Structure 1
Amino acid sequence: MYAQRRVVGMPERNAAADRLAATLPKYPSRPEAADTSGRLDSDGYAMLPGLLSPQQVKEMREYFETRLAFDGYRPEVGKFKAPDNAPKGTHVANFDHLDVVSAPHALAIANNPIVLSAVAEALGAKPTISYMTAWWSIAHGEAAKEAELYHRDVDDFRFVKLFVYLTDVDEGSGPHAFVRGTHKIDKLTEIRRLSEAEVAREFGADNMLSFTGPAGTAFIENTYGVHRGVPPKTRTRLLFQVLYSLAEYVGGPKRPVMKYQTEQNGLAIDPYINRVYLR
């Protein structure tokens, strides 16, 4: 994790990813995932319409509404019921590893075969589900900070993330923003927060996208591309996310948190892909 963060150049990162991927198991490609794979490769993201049913979205949202959250930037404030009882100054309220993986449909969504096939094509190897998370983005009137500013993720030499909105998201409730094509552009690759002005200057304002949509909106994205979570202004946003990588991620659980199960919602659960969370 920490060694790869020091590799800044895009060609060097890709070469290292190829070397690592060559040593890992492969995942069979699915023809029905070809369009999703192509969009992920060309644009850096691909929408996933119909990934969840409205009922599944409702069950996931209601589940997280009953769980206690925490402020990862301020652990000293303890746990609280989000979003209504979030302490003042909290921008993001996260959930524990076990609570996330135990959420209704979480494992099935993360193991969706179309998603896995598209991700494997991007990674060049069978993916590892190295981090699953969910969080409330709390509406606030403060200045953007941390991941609310443009940046590149450096979670591995190569990785893809799945995003699922569990609440309706409009321009006032913190849409995810992504700069199309930047996963392949070797500019502004140093690890730091980026201003909107320099992003527009280097990559073009036309490529600065904002993803809004009803609860259930889902997409996969190469978040080495420049992106941010826009600070919500009028209402909170609940989001579920899965990180797929070549190697295990330092932010995931230190040991598996749930007993291995062979399937969920009728979908097979691959023990290699899920080894970080399931034992």
Structure 2
Amino acid sequence: MSAAAATTTPFIERLRTRIPSVSQFLRRARTDRRNVAYDLLPLLDYRGRQTLGRLVCHFKPRTPDLAPSPLARSLCADLCEEGFTAIQPPIDAQVLGDLTAYFRSLPCHDPYRPHLGRFAWDQVPSDDINIGYYTPDEVIRAPHALALANHPDVLAAVELYLGARPILDNIGAAWGFAGRATAKGVQRFHRDYDCVGNVKLFYYLTDIDEDAGPHVFVRGSHRSSILETGKAQTDADIEAAFGTGKLVTLTAPAGSWFLEDVYGFHKGLLPVSRPRLLLAFQYNLYPTPHSPKAPVMDNPGGFDPYINQVFLR
């Protein structure tokens, strides 16, 4: 695709990517009112998202006397300029060990192949399964998960970036399996159309080198409406639109973490030699239909009830 052709897709076509009919839109709205904002969001390009995001922030709370640390300010500056942050040092080894032991002990699943049921991460029942997922309920109950999601520097950086206090939403953990022939789902370049303002926190729970499914981000694409189609994009189209110099591959040891504006184009590469385990927490300006309709557990104490309203009672 030429640079001239890499333009914004007409909004009706973008809308049909999410909701092909009015009847489906109304049915989804009745099922979960959060679907209304979620399904209409692809109508907006980058400028529209910015405008609506500022309006939403006007009605959202802010932390009184917010005093972000130098790290929080640095993380926010990276998000503004690049769309992702520098990779941060690994978390405590004991925390990492507890997390990986927890997820290794739980069976995962492929929501696109429910007939295969749940399976151990090292006993995948089909080569058609590229990714094994855990449910949000399972992720939020993982050891240290709440503490990691409520890291003070992360919360401050995200609030600075979004312009209002964030809401923890759309959390997940998943294995990417090695030796698969074709990329599927989030292994293809895509934008996340979850909210008018969203930042995701990624933790690598296994060592990630070039052969272990590293995350790839298109630098600066979080501030661009190029290839605004609502659909996944090929590597060739991304390279033609943005240039190969904008593609950043993030390798790091287990326990490392980074933040990202997931409206920018991103993907996880297919693992080649060994599986990868990834943990992710997303921060939005309002809840989305990706998370439970009602909180799933009591607040163990000390965690901000506004930020954690989706998951904690």
TM-score w.r.t. the length of structure 1 is 0.94
Q: How far 1:3 sits from its partner (Å)?
A: 3.9
Separation in 2 of the partners of 1:35 and 1:273?
22
Query: Of 104, 126, 129, which residue of structure 1 is paired with 2:168?
Result: 129
Corresponding residue SS for 1:45: coil
Q: How far 1:86 sits from its partner (Å)?
A: 4.4
Cα contact 2:90–2:253 (8 A) shared by 1: no
Q: How far 1:105 sits from its partner (Å)?
A: 1.0
Alignment match, 1:23:
59
Alignment match, 1:92:
131
Q: Which amino acid aligns with 1:10?
A: Y
Q: How far 1:89 sits from its partner (Å)?
A: 1.2
Deviations 1:181-229 (A, max 9, x none): 1101221111011111121121111110111111011000001001111
Cα contact 1:136–1:238 (8 A) shared by 2: yes
Alignment match, 1:141:
180
Alignment match, 1:117:
156
Cα contact 2:69–2:153 (8 A) shared by 1: no
The structure with the largest helix share of the pair is 2
Query: Of 160, 171, 179, which residue of structure 1 is paired with 2:199?
Result: 160
Map residues 98-113 of structure 1 onto 2, 5 A cutoff.
98-113=137-152
Q: Which amino acid aligns with 1:271?
A: P
Alignment match, 1:266:
none
Q: How far 1:121 sits from its partner (Å)?
A: 1.2
Cα contact 2:116–2:125 (8 A) shared by 1: no
| 1:68 and 2:107 aligned | yes
Separation in 2 of the partners of 1:122 and 1:189?
22
Cα contact 1:150–1:193 (8 A) shared by 2: yes
Separation in 1 of the partners of 2:157 and 2:125?
36
In structure 2, the CA distance between the partners of 1:51 and 1:23, relative to structure 1 (3 Å rule), is farther
Alignment match, 1:44:
83
Deviations 1:236-264 (A, max 9, x none): 0000000100110111112111111223x
Q: Which amino acid aligns with 2:75?
A: T
**Percent sequence identity over matched residues?**
34
Query: Of 297, 302, 305, which residue of structure 2 is paired with 1:258?
Result: 297
Corresponding residue SS for 2:201: strand
Separation in 1 of the partners of 2:231 and 2:146?
32
Greater Cα offset, 20-29 or 102-111: 20-29
Alignment match, 1:230:
269
Corresponding residue SS for 1:44: coil
Which consecutive unaligned segments of at least 5 residues does structure 1 have?
A: 264-268
Cα contact 2:110–2:129 (8 A) shared by 1: yes
Separation in 2 of the partners of 1:176 and 1:86?
25
Greater Cα offset, 89-98 or 213-222: 89-98
| 1:82 and 2:121 aligned | yes
Greater Cα offset, 91-100 or 153-162: 91-100
Q: Which amino acid aligns with 1:25?
A: P
The structure with the largest strand share of the pair is 1
Corresponding residue SS for 1:243: strand
Q: Which has the larger radius of gyration?
A: 2
Deviations 1:146-191 (A, max 9, x none): 2111111111111000000000011111111001111012211110
Separation in 2 of the partners of 1:6 and 1:175?
27
| 1:241 and 2:241 aligned | no
Instruction: Give the alignment's Cα RMSD to 1 decimal.
Output: 1.4
Separation in 1 of the partners of 2:185 and 2:67?
36
Separation in 1 of the partners of 2:177 and 2:111?
13
In structure 2, the CA distance between the partners of 1:69 and 1:185, relative to structure 1 (3 Å rule), is same
Cα contact 1:8–1:189 (8 A) shared by 2: no
Separation in 2 of the partners of 1:86 and 1:242?
28
Map residues 173-252 of structure 1 onto 2, 5 A cutoff.
173-252=212-291
Separation in 2 of the partners of 1:273 and 1:58?
26
Alignment match, 2:20:
none
Corresponding residue SS for 1:209: strand
